[in-house]
């Protein structure tokens, strides 16, 4: 924890960060209602996600699928991922609004939190319009995981809220950066990814700053609990990408598709790469512990 303690922010630093983020929000924000070409038709014979991000990419099942079938799967997978995005971003809005009630009402810190809530609301609206245009889904998420997120929404502490925000957004950011640069996928999808990546960079900075300010003040037991929550939460995100109903709507044998996705080394590698982006920060914060590593390993991931 020594390195984390050295980086504790003061209240003044907190306000300075908020000012910078508010300024960036003025200069680099989007209105998806007008900045996305919603009326443009989908392009023929074009993927909705990069092929390499499909949960079945590289499997024997993928090899047997026609190009048209693979494109259809990418359409269903995108609908699934965006619906999950709506779920977690709405969850974040609820948590952030609740915790913001305890902050100085005249502070830049509060004003940026309210700005972020507006960003997240626009993102969820953008995802919703995309799902509507995809005409796929919605799919039901794992009941146990949905219950876990309900508990998080109802009982989260401020540190837990920012821990959850950061790792989910970091994972989505890593994957969407691949998508926004891939000129072989639907232009509308690339644009929505770009908007999300640009604006979420500010949200991740906000969460990181708060964590480096708060985590060093917590007891060891509290940090251990947060570390375990991170490890469990990663599994929740990974499971959300393999919703069985998604495979059914894509015209696949559900049992075969689920087995193939769960044992797909390429899919594991994609997740591992997205996790690798934020592991150094969580390690510095003391949120990678011997006990939490056991949970990470149980999910096939190394930290």
* Percent above pLDDT 90 for the chain: 84
How far is the C-alpha of 208 from the C-alpha of 125, rounded, in Å?
A: 25
| DSSP letter for each residue of 31-74 | -HHHHS-TTSPPPTT-BSS-GGGSTTTTSHHHHHS-HHHHHHHH
Give, in degrees to the nearest 5, the angle at Cα 135 between 131 and 136. Answer: 80
In this prediction, residue 12 has a pLDDT band, given cuts at 50, 70 and 90, of low
pLDDT at 2 (0 to 100): 40
Q: Which of the residue ranges 126-140, 151-165, 174-188 would you say has the lowest mean pLDDT?
A: 151-165
Any bridge partners for residue 185, and if so which? 47
pLDDT at 91 (0 to 100): 92
Q: Check pLDDT > 50 for residue 96.
A: yes
pLDDT at 15 (0 to 100): 92
User: Coil, helix or strand for 185?
Assistant: strand
pLDDT at 142 (0 to 100): 85
Digit-coded pLDDT (tens) for 32-69 = 999 999 999 999 999 999 999 999 999 999 999 999 99
In this prediction, residue 220 has a pLDDT band, given cuts at 50, 70 and 90, of very high
Digit-coded pLDDT (tens) for 168-217 = 999 999 999 999 999 999 999 999 999 999 999 999 999 999 999 999 99
Cβ partners under 8 Å of residue 276, min gap 6: none
Nearest residue to 135 via CA among 249, 224, 293, 252 = 249
CB atoms within 10 A of CB 271: 20
Give, in degrees to the nearest 5, the angle at Cα 65 between 62 and 67. Answer: 105
pLDDT at 151 (0 to 100): 86
CB atoms within 10 A of CB 64: 8
**255 or 9: whose pLDDT is higher?**
255
Q: Check pLDDT > 80 for residue 6.
A: no
Domains detected in the chain: 9-27+41-298 (1.10.620.20)
Backbone angles phi, psi at 53, to 5 degrees: -95, -5
Any bridge partners for residue 47, and if so which? 185
Task: Copy the structure tokens of residue 47.
Answer: 């993927």
């Amino acid at each position: 924890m020594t390195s984390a303690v050295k980086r504790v922010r003061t209240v003044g630093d907190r306000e300075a960060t908020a000012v910078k983020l508010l300024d960036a929000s003025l200069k680099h924000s989007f209105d998806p209602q007008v900045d996305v070409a919603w009326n443009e038709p989908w392009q023929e014979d074009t993927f909705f996600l990069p092929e390499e991000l499909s949960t079945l990419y590289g499997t024997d099942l993928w090899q047997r699928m026609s190009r048209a079938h693979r494109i259809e799967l990418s359409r269903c997978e995108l609908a699934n991922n965006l619906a999950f995005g709506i779920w977690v971003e709405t969850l974040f809005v609820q948590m952030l609004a609740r915790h913001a009630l305890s902050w100085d009402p005249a502070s830049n810190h509060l004003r940026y939190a309210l700005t972020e809530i507006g960003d997240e609301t626009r993102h969820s609206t953008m995802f919703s319009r995309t799902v509507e245009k995809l005409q796929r889904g919605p799919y039901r998420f794992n009941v146990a995981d949905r219950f876990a997120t309900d508990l998080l929404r109802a009982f989260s502490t401020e540190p837990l809220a920012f821990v959850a925000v950061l790792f989910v957004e970091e994972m989505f950011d890593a994957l969407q950066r691949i998508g926004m640069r891939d000129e072989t996928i639907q232009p509308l999808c690339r644009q929505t990814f770009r908007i999300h990546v640009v604006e979420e960079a500010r949200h991740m900075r906000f969460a990181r700053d708060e964590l480096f300010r708060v985590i060093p003040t917590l007891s060891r037991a509290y940090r251990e609990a947060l570390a375990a929550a991170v490890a469990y939460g990663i599994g929740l995100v990974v499971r959300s990408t393999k919703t069985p109903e998604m495979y059914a709507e894509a015209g696949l044998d559900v049992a075969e598709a689920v087995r193939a996705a769960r044992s797909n080394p390429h899919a594991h590698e994609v997740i591992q790469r997205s996790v690798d982006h934020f592991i150094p920060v969580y390690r510095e914060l003391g949120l990678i512990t011997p006990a939490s590593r056991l949970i990470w390993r149980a999910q096939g991931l190394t930290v």
